[in-house]
Each structure stands twice: as C-alpha cells, then as structure tokens.
Amino acid sequence: MDQLIALLQEYGVGFVFVNVLALQAGLPLPAYPTLIAAGALAAAGGTALWQLVAVGVLASIVADTGWYAAGRRFGMRILSTLCRVSLSQDSCVRQTESIFQRFGPASMLFAKFVPGFASVATALAGAIRLRYWMFVLFDAIGAGLWVGLGVGLGYLFRDAIGEVMAKLSSLGKYGVALVIAAFVVWIAIKWWRRYLFVKQLRMDRVSVDELKRMLDEKRVQALVDVRSAITQAATGRIPGALAIDMQKIEDSFKGVPIDGEVVLYCACPNEATAVKVAQKLRKVGYKRIRPLLGGIDAWIDAGLDVER
C-alpha cells in the first residue's frame, strides 16, 4: 500500500487512468485498491474526487469502446471467446444474455459490479448494434457509479483503511503472504467448481453433419435453441428450431414424444447451457436427447443456412 500511495503521489490521476484502463481492457489488475487509496489521499488534500471520477470514467469508456467495436466486428462469437478465458465460463454467456435481455442497455449501469460481466456486456452491446451514443451514455453512468464508490470508500473510511494497512505493514512478509494466500484460495475454489461442472458436462454430442442428415431424414422430433431471444435475433436460428422459456422448460416440451430424438444447441463454451437443459429433461423421462457439438457457431461455420 505504501508503494501504491507513492505511485499515486508521483503520477496522480495518470496512474488511476492506466490502472482502470488495464482492468477494463481485460487484464487481471484490480483497480479498486488504487481507487480506494486515491480516495484516501483526496481526503488528505490530494487530487479532487471529481477529477478521480472523471479520469476513471474516461478510462472505462476508452477500454469499453474497444469491446464494443469487437462486438460490432465479430458479432455474437465474441461472447464465447471472452467467456472461454473466464473461470466461470459455463454460465458466462447465458448470464450475460439473460441480464441484458431483462434490463437492456440499463444493465451497463451495474455491469462493472458483476464479476465477469462488464467486458462481455459491452461486447454484447456492440454485437446487437446498440447505438454508440446510447452505449456511451449508459456506460459512462455505470463507470461513474463504479469509480465513485471506490474513491468514496477511500475518502469516507480513510482512517480505518490506514489502520488495516498499518497492521499488514507490521506483519511484514506475513502480511503479504496473507493477501497472496487469500487470492490463491479464491482461485482454487473457482477452479474446483469449474472441475466439478466439467464432469457434469460429459454427455454424447451430435455433430453438425449428423444433425443435418437427421433433419433431412426427418428423424428429429424436436430441435431446440436454448439461447436468449436477443441472441437468436442477432444471429438467427437453425431452420425449424424451437425457442423455449428457460423458466418453464418442461412446459415447453409438451407434445414432444418422451422417446423422441431431441437435439439442443446454444452458443457457449462446452455447450454448457444445452447440457444443463438436457440434464433437466432427462430427469423428467426424456432419453434420446443430445447437445449439438459446437452449437450454432459450428452450424454457421459449416456453411449451413439459418433463419431469422
């Protein structure tokens, strides 16, 4: 913390800008310690709070514009790419789609407070071609709330923060080890949850070629798109595919023979959403149900048609 304060004293708002920019660009460099320390320094006569917030918002907009541009350039594929580097990649795509579908552009007001959501949400905004002025408006307000909370905490609780830092400093190398150990434990818990979920994903898949043959031979009783409506509208669906209500999965399958051939597809790493739905359907009796390997992206890559 002493080194952090020294950097802030030497480089001022420039250091805040670089730290926030790096985090929002996707680098694992936490910015809240910097914002809190900057807020504490502001209380002691350092840079004014409004300047800290303004610089943090500017850095966020610059980085988020990059994700927005990537979304416009690469479409919905950028979501899967971003989620593949997430420790919670299995729920990353569906969570982003669900939140964005529920709240629309207003979801960016709290995006930075949801781990793993910020960069994916800004990329999604570009993918669905949200108007840039509207994107900047909501993104700026959300960034202002996020940055403002950080520097505000530092400003209001400067004495308590000082006491904690003094305690860690008194512990010397043990204090550093404590912080590192906490971070390692957090990573380990995330990895273990990821490992358990991957075990649950072990299920036979149907390839694109096999699905095409099955459709041509009319051997598929139900082909189901389990993506959100906002994603289906952006990329289209496999011809003949049905959309379902994720909150009423069983009701959506009424009329489908219990022993019929059912194929599900999504657009997330490991076909995670499709597998989750398949597992729920198996519990109610469906036996011949498989996810599409590679999801909608594999279908499009094969040069096959989609309907909009």
Distance from C-alpha of 39 to C-alpha of 41, rounded to nearest angstrom: 5
Strand partners, 242: 224
Beta-carbon neighbour count of residue 27 at 10 Å?
11
pTM: predicted TM-score of the whole model, two decimal places = 0.65
Tell me the pLDDT tens digit for each residue of 27-72. 878 888 888 888 888 887 778 889 999 999 999 999 999 999 998 9
Going from N- to C-terminal start, the domains of the chain cover 2-156, 208-301
Confidence (pLDDT) at 140: 96
**pLDDT at residue 113 greater than cutoff 70:** yes
**pLDDT at residue 158 greater than cutoff 70:** yes
Confidence (pLDDT) at 189: 74
Confidence (pLDDT) at 136: 95
| Whole-number percent of the chain with pLDDT over 70 | 81
Least confident of 23-37, 54-68, 107-121, 172-186: 172-186
Burial track 235-264 (b if 16+ CB lie within 10 A, e otherwise): bbbbeebeebebeebeebbeebeeebbbbb
Q: Please provide the CATH number assigned to the domain covering 208-301.
A: 3.40.250.10
Distance from C-alpha of 12 to C-alpha of 17, rounded to nearest angstrom: 9
Distance from C-alpha of 35 to C-alpha of 52, rounded to nearest angstrom: 8
64 contacts: CB under 8 Å, gap ≥ 6: 24, 118, 119, 122, 135, 139, 143
Confidence (pLDDT) at 304: 93
